[in-house]
Amino acid sequence: MLVSLYTVRIKLEILGVENYGIFNVVGGIVVLFTFLNSAMTGASQRFLSFALGQNDTEQAQNVYSASIVIHALIAVLVVILAQTVGLWFFNTWLNIPEERQTAAFIVYQFSIAATVLSVLRVPYRATIIAYEKMSFFAMLSIVEAILMLGVALLLPIILFDSLIVYAFLVCIIGIVILLVYKLYCNKVFEIAHFRHCRDKKLFRQLLGFSGWSAFGGFANISRNQGINILLNIFHGVTVNAAMGIATQVNSAVNQFLTNFQVASSPQIVKLYATKDYDSFMQLIFRTSKISFCLLLFFILPLYVNTDFVLGLWLVKVPEYTVEFIRLIFLFSLIGAIANPLTVSIKATGNIKKFQLVLSCFMFANLPLSLLLLWIGFNPAWVLIIKICLRVLAVIWEVLWGGKMIRLPVKKFLCEVIIPIFTIAIISTIFIIFLQNFFSNNWSRLAVSCIASIVSIGCLMYWVGLNKQEKVLLQNWLKVKIGKSGDCSK
């Protein structure tokens, strides 16, 4: 998180607001064509975890091989779409200063290459997650973040166009990371060896599952990148830079949550595969609670000190950045609750109606955002709409979970929703109250960080955990304390 945040500062300082905005909006066009990849990522992870949960190594190897073939085809499709439809949109609609058109075009081509590399990486990443090799996953994530920082630090000594060089070096990092993923999987996992898969039924299952996931992935990408493009059309690349910074900050803070949920997702699928419904439901409840509070630990101090932190972090803060960051934080907190439900529902394999309704909520962002921007509303309203629709989507996920996975809705409301919102409200009031006693910004930041840890930690124990979870935590602490005592002797 720290490396990623510092990298954003360096990129913005060296590239400048205009170039940084161009990089975000141009890359966003290519990302629009990766909805199939997003769908197949979920399908690959689900079917691999399901097969491993049933100890079916033969089926797991078939899933791996089929995923390799499908992702290679997706990569080809991304190139075709990006060089036709995407190029037309780039030349026709994007609001890019005339003197930067050539550089933007070259960056667009590098963005296509980087996206293709990320598509080809998916089967290896899915295999690592399905086997729950989180130590390697974590280390490679850290290495990738450090390499990105290294690229940003190299830019000042480059005499050529810094935007083009940056896009090129991001591609090189993509090649390196893909090769490391492949070599590790081939060496460590017995299923990670490609063979010609003749199981047409498996291909149909993967494509059928991913078909509806693709619809959801297209809706999600359309929402995120469509909003970015609308902001570019109505307000130019400066507002794109502000949205890019807000998104990067949110992504960096979300690393803790993402990696926690990456670790829990294969376990949820495996428990469903083995029909251990009690443990399955307990893990959903716990993951939702812990996800929300883990994210709140980092978001709350940043939320109440956004102006001061941005002033320290960035040389120049683009207009609307503060509002964008705060609103995206709220959106992420809502999403933290829902992700375990999404994983559990997808574990059933029956996602048609679920994904259809969820996608409608996502698609609704674009016409509503277009309407408000056209009328002349503040750009921040696109995120307010996004938050409201996400709340409706979470309500739908809870209700549909009650039907598909026999989720006890009332119990989920009493044991998850009410406790975490109680924690959030009390912690926020407590931090704002304490900050009133300090006038120095550094003191206010320090106090809010300490108060966040203490208040959320205590409230999570007393309000968030049930009796069984408190006993589990107490026993775990006793074991850890006992081990540290033995080491000291």
Q: By CB neighbour count within 10 A (0-12 exposed, 13-18 middle, 19+ buried), where does 321 fall?
A: buried
Alpha helix ranges (H) inside 236-276: 237-273
Last residue of a domain, one of 386, 407, 428: 407
Asked if 272 contacts 350 with a C-beta cutoff of 8 angstroms, the reply is: no
In this structure, the dihedral spanned by the alpha carbons of residues 330, 334, 337 and 339, taken in order and rounded to 10 degrees, is -110
pLDDT number for residue 101: 81
Last residue of a domain, one of 356, 376, 407: 407
Domain of 57 in residue numbering reads as 2-407
Mark whether 455 and 348 lie in a shared domain: no
Asked if 95 contacts 232 with a C-beta cutoff of 8 angstroms, the reply is: yes
Alpha helix ranges (H) inside 376-440: 381-404, 409-412, 418-435
Mark whether 45 and 116 lie in a shared domain: yes
Mark whether 397 and 427 lie in a shared domain: no
Mark whether 390 and 442 lie in a shared domain: no
Mark whether 415 and 396 lie in a shared domain: no
User: How many structural domains is the chain composed of?
Assistant: 2
Mark whether 390 and 420 lie in a shared domain: no
Last residue of a domain, one of 369, 384, 407: 407
Mark whether 367 and 323 lie in a shared domain: yes
Mark whether 394 and 415 lie in a shared domain: no
Mark whether 187 and 112 lie in a shared domain: yes
What does the pLDDT profile of the chain (489 residues) look like in tens digits? 677 777 777 777 777 777 777 777 776 666 665 555 555 666 777 778 778 877 888 888 888 888 888 888 888 888 898 888 888 877 887 777 777 888 888 888 888 888 888 888 888 888 888 887 878 878 888 888 888 888 888 877 776 788 888 888 888 998 999 999 999 999 988 888 877 777 777 777 776 666 666 667 677 777 877 888 888 888 877 888 888 888 877 777 777 777 777 778 888 888 888 888 888 899 999 999 988 988 898 889 989 998 888 888 776 788 888 899 999 899 989 988 888 888 888 888 777 788 888 888 888 888 999 999 999 888 999 999 999 999 999 998 898 888 888 889 899 999 999 999 999 999 999 999 998 888 888 899 999 999 999 999 999 989 888 888 888 888 888 877 776 555 555
pLDDT number for residue 210: 61
> Which residue type, as a one-letter code, is found at position 406?
R
Mark whether 359 and 488 lie in a shared domain: no
Distance CA 287, CA 261 (A): 7
Distance CA 47, CA 274 (A): 14
pLDDT number for residue 418: 93
Length of the chain: 489
Mark whether 287 and 273 lie in a shared domain: yes
Mark whether 62 and 182 lie in a shared domain: yes
pTM of this prediction?
Answer: 0.73
pLDDT number for residue 149: 84
**16: number of Cβ within 10 Å:** 15
**430: number of Cβ within 10 Å:** 18
Asked if 244 contacts 20 with a C-beta cutoff of 8 angstroms, the reply is: yes
**End-to-end CA separation in angstroms for the chain:** 36
Q: By CB neighbour count within 10 A (0-12 exposed, 13-18 middle, 19+ buried), where does 351 fall?
A: buried
